[in-house]
Amino acid sequence: MTVQKSQLANVIASDNRADIASKTVKTTCCYCGVGCGVEATVEDNRVTAVKGDELHPANLGRLCVKGSSLHETQSNPNRLLQPMLHGEATDWETALNYSADKFKAIVEQYGPESVAFYLSGQLLTEDYYVANKLMKGFVGTANIDTNSRLCMASAVVAHKRAFGGDVVPGNYEDLENTDLVLLVGSNTAYAHPIIYQRIVKAKAARPNMKVVVIDPRRTATCDIADYHLAIRPGSDAFLFNGLLGYLADNNALDSEFIANHSEGFDEALSVAKAQVASVEQAAVMCDVAKNDLTAVYDLFAKTTKAVTVFSQGVNQSSSGVDKGNTIINCHLATGKIGKLGAAPFSITGQPNAMGGREVGGLANQLAAHMSFDNQPDIDRVASFWRAPNMAQGEGLKAVDMFQAVHDGKIKAIWIMATNPVVTMPDANFIREALEKCELVLVSDCIANTDTGKLADVVFPATTWSEKNGTVTNSERRISLQKGFLPAPGQAKHDWQIISEFAQKIGFEQAFNYTHPVEIFREHAALSGVDNGVDVGTNTRPVRGFDISGMQHISKQAYENLQPIQWPVNSHKPNGTARLFEDANFFTASGRAKFVPISARFPQMPPKDNQVIMNTGRIRDQWHTMTRTGSAAKLLGHIDEPFIDIHPADAKRFGLAHKDIAVLENRGARYLGRVNVSDSQRVSEVFVPMHWNDNFASSSRADALVNAITDPLCGQPEFKHSPVEINPYNAQWSGFIASELPVTPNADYWVKIPVDKGYKYRIADTVTPSNWSEWLTEQFPLVSDWVELTDSSQAFYRKVGFIEGRLAVVLNIARGNEQPIENRWLEQQLGEQCDLNQRFAVLAGVAGEGVEDEGPIVCSCFQIGAKAIQTAIEGGCCSAEALGEKLKCGSNCGSCIPEINGMIRAFSPQHAAKQA
Ligand SMILES: Nc1nc2c(c(=O)[nH]1)N[C@H]1C(S)=C(S)[C@@H](COP(=O)(O)OP(=O)(O)OC[C@H]3O[C@@H](n4cnc5c(=O)[nH]c(N)nc54)[C@H](O)[C@@H]3O)O[C@H]1N2
Ligand SMILES: Nc1nc2c(c(=O)[nH]1)N[C@H]1C(S)=C(S)[C@@H](COP(=O)(O)OP(=O)(O)OC[C@H]3O[C@@H](n4cnc5c(=O)[nH]c(N)nc54)[C@H](O)[C@@H]3O)O[C@H]1N2
Ligand code: SF4
Ligand SMILES: [Mo]
């Protein structure tokens, strides 16, 4: 279904989006870059339910499991409600004065290069704009970078090199109207679930549409793949260089496009062919079967409409920019750009990764797609801002910025809406840097994040549903994230905190904003300044980003903003669905540029005893889990850090399925549960990026990631870290279930919020001398205990009560093997227990008639693996049939790839076919 713009305008105009008292409010999801429209039901100042906005063009009514749980992550027990100064609660005046005075003194003594901001693609455009203006125009330094450096920096530079500007040409409808989707380094099913579902639906409607997944792992996304190329990690540029040569050799070039709208083709082709002369050679470089590669090359050559979606498997690399350009080269060579269903498509991760690029949130950008390479751009921005201290050159990129903090060159840093102690490469070094830094300011909505713990001052920020402002999704679509709830406690909006700080350091006039619309108008106006050259009777834009058409937007129109795709200007007042339809690019010549690429492998190859650690996302968690980790429902699917490993490697390293293993690099450890799976290639492991010191004792993957970056864009090589792997050799393993949080006194612990408290999986290589003491020390408030052990001391169980209510359960066993857990036991937490129940709990067995349901596959309806397996074995052999029987997969659909995987594994028909 396609919603016409006019249709949309009518419906939204008649819907009172601004009315706080109304029961439903339209807003935008705060998680990923798909940018789904959400309808939130509000009762008594609380969001009680959410559903997808049927009229939002990004999702047309659908939401994934994270989006549909937005209301369940609202009341977070760790919400930060007041400013903190050196760990003590304080008031705003004290916190801001302390920060401003210290910051100003540092700038006065050491100059503007001694301070830095580190921002986030989770800020709203208005927050981002104000921070960027303050640093680059007023403090006088471009030492302002963002976590987009870890995410989109490669794509930004690839776009600039090819198109003359950082623009994504296509849109989501192209994905539905194409005949071939290549998903490269993108686990779309998990990371962009609604885009994935749009592709699934389009393919079901037109089965001739082909899907190719290029990823070293067999991911959930492969569920719909006609071809999965499990390539050698880091070999993508060889693959696309090989494709360019194949296109030339097989008469598949668009000569008209190459001749009239591009430059540099011959050189790009000759460099590609010099390196990858044939399909055979490409197959060897990429370590895939030649037949499969030929089939994929042939599909691309013969299909006029193709979209190549690329994400972190391409970007997070020491040659990520080049990889992006090899992809774009193939699209330019075949004219697959600027047309319905044809585009290279870099999808953004964070909700406002694109907005950050618009305001110039990176250290090497100026606002509104202007550049430090160009003095007129610098002067233009300076005069527009009336900037007293305009930065004249690029600042430090994230990795270099934290190095400078560590070196003492940067003495004050303000970190907003990001958690670098968990998510920057060499994360222990980042921790050290912040420990040494004179002034660390953090803005977050959550208390005690791993980064917040190191701050001198923490500012409490408002967040989704409270803050008001715009975000831009992967397809350049600007939507409003609406503020409809009052700020809790003393929390303030990020733009407000920055503006008040700016005023305190002496810039009153330029930061006297009272509402985000004022910031938005200024941002929109700047994007239009000198943004057009006259070409005959037409005007050709110089910069892709132009929303000057919205510079006079009224407050009411802003509060009712309908989703709109930039550019939005006098020529395109209703926005622009697709760029380059006229094959006019933003380069000086107006032609797209081929970039000759000599492909490179990752910088650090593994040694013989090492494996390559690949990192990435799981379905139900968002980054450092500050919000999604608080919802028991979102931990049902995967609740513990893991290590996916091929069976041959498990054997080689002496690891059994479900044991704990240790990954090590540079003295840092990652502990995770072994998951033996042939979805991995040999000598490569995959671990999630999410776990951190608030959820586990030693499972920050980034402590092991080397700070190796792409020389052109500074993006780290997160997907390729050589590490050692060994069994953990636990002397004992077990769990604690507790009503209240605790930090278990065990070398290995993982915290798992459950409905009525917390569960901790624990293990250690040393056995405590006295179990009873060990436990009671951690729970001094509990005095009423019952315990159970056996004479050979193979297991030990102890249960504690407070006033007859179950408060603590400990269950441990000797060795590596986890004692059996069940959800029934967790559900008894806080319940009054009579004598019988006390012994049932102590025995650790489910109550009568209560079966353990295994890991939760369908988070929406909390359907466990066991029920699904039983139904499949009983003959329910399609996702639809299972949905009817158990409801699983019938809401957001995020678990359908898993369900299909289970059908393949357990269905009697499938087993018969295999035999
Ligand atoms: N559930 C969930 N969704 C999210 C997020 C989240 O935290 N949780 N975060 C959002 C953000 S900010 C981002 S940036 C996106 C990221 O979205 P994605 O990029 O799709 O996610 P990742 O899991 O980081 O990595 C994608 C894949 O790259 C593969 N890969 C590794 N090395 C290579 C290689 O050399 N070549 C190729 N071709 N592939 C390789 C990995 O095996 C992995 O499956 O997700 C967004 N969506
Ligand atoms: N190993 C490895 N590391 C990676 C990656 C990987 O694939 N592998 N991916 C990288 C990528 S692509 C990304 S995008 C980063 C993401 O990494 P981060 O940005 O560090 O992760 P988040 O947990 O999203 O951090 C956001 C923080 O902002 C807070 N917050 C939420 N809303 C607001 C708000 O409105 N205002 C303020 N002030 N704070 C708020 C949250 O509580 C949280 O603490 O990780 C990168 N690191
Ligand atoms: S796909 Fe992304 S934007 Fe849409 S509901 Fe899920 S997390 Fe939110
Ligand atoms: Mo990202």
Closest CA to 786 of 810, 818, 803, 813: 810
Q: Which residue is closest in CA terms to ligand 1's atom 10? A: 349
Task: Tell how strand 757-764 and strand 412-416 pair up.
Answer: unpaired
Q: What is the pLDDT of residue 6?
A: 41
Closest ligand relative to 716 C-alpha: 2
SS3 label, residue 263: strand
Alpha carbon distance 371, 553 (integer Å): 26
What does the block give as tokens for 689?
A: 């990026």
Task: Tell how strand 180-184 and strand 306-310 pair up.
Answer: parallel
- The residues lining ligand 1, judged by C-beta closer than 6 Å to any ligand atom, are 32, 151, 184-187, 190-191, 214-217, 219, 231, 233-234, 236, 311-313, 349-350, 614, 616-617, 619, 621-623, 719
Of 236, 617, 628, the residue with max ligand 1 atoms within 8 A of its CB, to mutate for a pocket test, comes to 617
What is the helix (H) or strand (E) element at residue 300, kind and residue range? helix 290-302
Q: Which residue is closest in CA terms to ligand 2's atom 45? A: 423
Compute CA 49 distance to the chain's CA centroid, rounded to the nearest angstrom.
24
Compute CA 686 distance to the chain's CA centroid, rounded to the nearest angstrom.
16
Confidence check: pLDDT of 568 > 70? yes
Alpha carbon distance 307, 850 (integer Å): 49
Q: Could you report the per-residue pLDDT of 395-409, keeping only the tens digit for each? A: 999 999 999 999 999
Could you tell me if the CB of 639 is within 6 A of ligand 2? no
Place of tokens 């624990």: 762
Closest ligand 1 atom to Cα of 618: 1
The secondary structure of 614-648, three-state, reads EEECCCCCCCCCCCHHHCHHHHCCCCCCEEEECHH
Alpha carbon distance 134, 100 (integer Å): 13
**What average pLDDT does the segment 360-381 reach?**
95
Q: Which residue is closest in CA terms to ligand 2's atom 46? A: 423
Q: Do the beta carbons of residue 761 and residue 640 sit within 8 Å?
A: yes
What does the block give as tokens for 709?
A: 């970056």
**What average pLDDT does the segment 745-762 reach?**
96
If you measure from the C-alpha of residue 575 to the centroid of ligand 4, how many angstroms do you get, rounded to a whole number? 26
Least reliable range by pLDDT among 456-470, 660-674, 675-689, 857-871: 857-871
DSSP single-letter state for residue 608: T
Closest ligand relative to 498 C-alpha: 2
All domains of the chain, ordered by start, with CATH? Answer: 5-73 (3.30.200.210), 87-150+353-515 (3.40.50.740), 153-346 (3.40.228.10), 610-723 (2.40.40.20), 732-843 (no CATH), 856-914 (1.10.10.1100)
- pLDDT bracket for residue 632 (50, 70, 90): confident
Closest CA to 828 of 762, 755, 733: 755
Name the burial class of residue 648, with classes exposed (0-12), middle (13-18) and buried (19+) by CB atoms within 10 angstroms of its CB.
Answer: middle
The secondary structure of 716-770, three-state, reads ECCCCEEEEEEECCCCEEEEEEECCCCCCCCCEEEEEEECCEEEEEEEECCCCCC
Confidence check: pLDDT of 285 > 60? yes
- Cis check: omega of the bond before 83, within 30 degrees of 0: no
Alpha carbon distance 912, 915 (integer Å): 5
Q: What is the pLDDT of residue 2?
A: 41
Closest ligand 2 atom to Cα of 121: 14
**What average pLDDT does the segment 298-306 reach?**
98
**What average pLDDT does the segment 533-543 reach?**
69
Confidence check: pLDDT of 545 > 50? yes
If you measure from the C-alpha of residue 419 to the centroid of ligand 2, how many angstroms do you get, rounded to a whole number? 5
Q: Could you report the per-residue pLDDT of 663-714, keeping only the tens digit for each? A: 999 999 999 999 999 999 999 999 999 999 999 999 999 999 999 999 999 9
Closest ligand 1 atom to Cα of 190: 1
Alpha carbon distance 359, 482 (integer Å): 20
Q: Could you report the per-residue pLDDT of 397-444, keeping only the tens digit for each? A: 999 999 999 999 999 999 999 999 999 999 999 999 999 999 999 999
Alpha carbon distance 860, 634 (integer Å): 9
Q: Do the beta carbons of residue 828 and residue 808 sit within 8 Å?
A: no
| Neighbouring residues of the ion ligand 4, judged by CB less than 5 Å | 151, 349
Q: Which residues contact 365 (CB under 8 A, 6 or more apart)?
A: 156, 357, 371, 372
Q: Which residue is closest in CA terms to ligand 2's atom 10? A: 150
Q: Which pTM was predicted?
A: 0.95
Could you tell me if the CB of 624 is within 6 A of ligand 2? yes
Q: Do the beta carbons of residue 877 and residue 909 sit within 8 Å?
A: yes
Cα angle value 563/566/567 (rounded, 5°): 145
Confidence check: pLDDT of 114 > 90? yes
Confidence check: pLDDT of 581 > 60? yes
Alpha carbon distance 712, 386 (integer Å): 31
Alpha carbon distance 722, 719 (integer Å): 10
Could you tell me if the CB of 32 is within 6 A of ligand 3? yes
Q: What is the pLDDT of residue 539?
A: 67
User: What is the residue type of 773?
Assistant: E
Alpha carbon distance 907, 878 (integer Å): 9
SS3 label, residue 685: strand
Could you tell me if the CB of 616 is within 6 A of ligand 2? yes
